[in-house]
Amino acid sequence: MNGFNSYKSDLGFDIGSGLSGQSTYIKKKDEQNNRILMEEQYKLLQMQKAEILAQQKFRKEYNKSSKIMLYISVATLFITFLSLIISFFK
């Protein structure tokens, strides 16, 4: 509320009077606030982009490791099957 009171005392009229939108001070302040907001949004988008790229990298590595584990499991199953067959013939 103190910010609104300072506008009121600086400009000499009430904020709701319809003339407040014409003030160059308020326009400059709004432009500064918009720039700050846009910079923060850009930073947030960059962080989200980095997080998405990290997740994609993790998924690729996970898929590679799961394929390797599948091949190891198949090889182990094949060796176990061969061992079973050999044990029957002894």
Q: Which tops the pLDDT comparison, 47 or 25? A: 47
Tokens of 33: 């606030």
Please determine, for residue 15, whether its predicted confidence score (pLDDT) is greater than 80.
no
| Cα–Cα distance measured from residue 23 to residue 29, given in angstroms and rounded to the nearest whole number | 10
At residue 12 the predicted structure's pLDDT band, cuts being 50, 70 and 90, is low
Average pLDDT over residues 73-83: 95
Q: 23: buried, middle or exposed (CB in 10 Å: 19+, 13-18, 0-12)?
A: middle
Residue ranges of E strands in 1-90: none
> What's the mean per-residue pLDDT of the chain?
83
Tokens standing for 58?
């993790």
Give the pTM.
0.50
